[in-house]
Chain A
Amino acid sequence: MSAHTRIVEIRTKILKQNDVAARALRERFESAGVFTVSFVSSPGSGKTMLLEKTLVALREQYRVAALVGDLATDNDARRLARSEVPVRQITTGTVCHLEAEMVRTALDDWSLEELDFLFIENVGNLVCPASYDLGEAMRVVVFSVTEGEDKPLKYPTIFNTADVAVITKADLAAAVDFDAAEALKNIEAVRPGMQVLTVSAKRGEGMIEWLRLLSDRRREARPAPDKLAACPTEAELRSP
């Protein structure tokens, strides 16, 4: 520093714009009573398959919708549209992650009050999405048995920002000699206490536990009281 310069302290978060947008989204989700779950994973982990099966299973009892992020194509949105719930693609172009503002824009004309669950599938990337809050109530990190037990050790930051881990493609575990105990140990090392589920979305193993976790977490988050009054109970929804 020369004699002609001085230091001014400013202490400002670099991603404050995203943080502000995420906070506004979180408030919107909470007041609308919609439980928002985001998925982060590497490409090819099976999160679209997991999401598709989840949407189909939940739509019987809940009003669900999804946003899916990719650099290009609307393949995932078209694939998820088969689940017959509202799905919208966010195409990020060259951006390697979703940001809160992209979510806000994508939701512009959606009435969140009419939803119980909103799923946000991030761009397949285990690095960059870690830094961006999307206003979600729960972040799920997804990784498949074919990716190896040491995934959590290689990408500790993203595991550390997640609330729940889902290990997918359990039906392939034997074929790739997946060591489940080692995987759990590695998750515990970088994110102590995180709940971990193992599923095969294709075959259905573990899906009941996963769906139960979603409905439990949603209940714990307590939707807005006026919404509880307006919504039919789960029992009412089940009976014809």
Chain B
Amino acid sequence: MHELSIACSIIDLAAEESQQRGGVAVRAVHVRLGQLSGVVKSALLSAFELAQEDSPLAAARLLIEESPIVIHCAACDADTTLDWPREFESVPSFACAQCGVPTSDIRSGRELEVTALEIDT
């Protein structure tokens, strides 16, 4: 459960950005969360609610966009988007959709970033 410390980092980061803009109110924080980031969306949402109390972001919403895992196959020069880890029934496999050969070349899915803030004008 490191979502609470991640939530605190999000608040610190957003508060710092708000300070740099003269202390404008932050209405929402947009976050991109890769499926391989090791952070669970629902846990992060509840952690954020807890962490934002009495913080400069007490009134802000957290909007999370999940990004899928994309792997690259050098032989086919093709990307495969993995539908995972949501499908717990299926065995996950980092294999190219075209040739079936496994690859560790991950192009996307590890994101853990604040992409944008909604602030008062």
Contact, CB under 8 Å: A95 / B38: no
Contact, CB under 8 Å: B112 / A9: no
Contact, CB under 8 Å: A10 / B17: yes
Contact, CB under 8 Å: A97 / B2: yes
- Chain B residues contacting A160 (CB-CB under 8 Å) are 36, 106
Q: Of all chain A residues, which has the CB nearest B103?
A: A192
Contact, CB under 8 Å: A96 / B31: no
Interface residues on B, range: 35 or more
User: A231: CB under 8 A from chain B?
Assistant: no
Interface residues on A, range: 35 or more
Which residues of B1-43 have CB atoms within 8 Å of chain A's CB atoms? 1-2, 5-6, 9-10, 13, 17, 21, 27-28, 30-31, 36-39
- Option from A6, A12, A188, A192 in Cβ contact (under 8 Å) with B13: A12
Report the minimal beta-carbon distance from A162 to chain B, rounded to whole angstroms.
11
- Chain B residues contacting A11 (CB-CB under 8 Å) are 113-116
Contact, CB under 8 Å: A4 / B120: yes
Contact, CB under 8 Å: B117 / A190: no
Contact, CB under 8 Å: A17 / B114: no
Contact, CB under 8 Å: B120 / A153: no
Tell me the bound Cα distance from A9 to B116 in angstroms: 4
Contact, CB under 8 Å: A13 / B113: yes
User: A131: CB under 8 A from chain B?
Assistant: yes
- Chain A residues contacting B75 (CB-CB under 8 Å) are none
Tell me the bound Cα distance from A126 to B93 in angstroms: 19
Q: Of all chain A residues, which has the CB nearest B12?
A: A17
User: A158: CB under 8 A from chain B?
Assistant: yes
Chain A residues within 8 Å of B, Cβ to Cβ: 1-2, 4-17, 95-97, 127-128, 130-131, 153, 156-158, 160-161, 188-194
What 4 A-B pairs have minimum CB-CB distances, sorted nearest first?
A192-B102, A130-B38, A128-B2, A131-B38
Chain B residues within 8 Å of A, Cβ to Cβ: 1-2, 5-6, 9-10, 13, 17, 21, 27-28, 30-31, 36-39, 85, 91-95, 102-104, 106, 112-121
Q: List 16 A-B contacts (CB under 8 A).
A: A7-B117, A9-B116, A11-B116, A12-B114, A13-B113, A14-B113, A15-B9, A95-B5, A96-B1, A130-B38, A153-B91, A158-B38, A160-B106, A189-B93, A191-B94, A194-B104
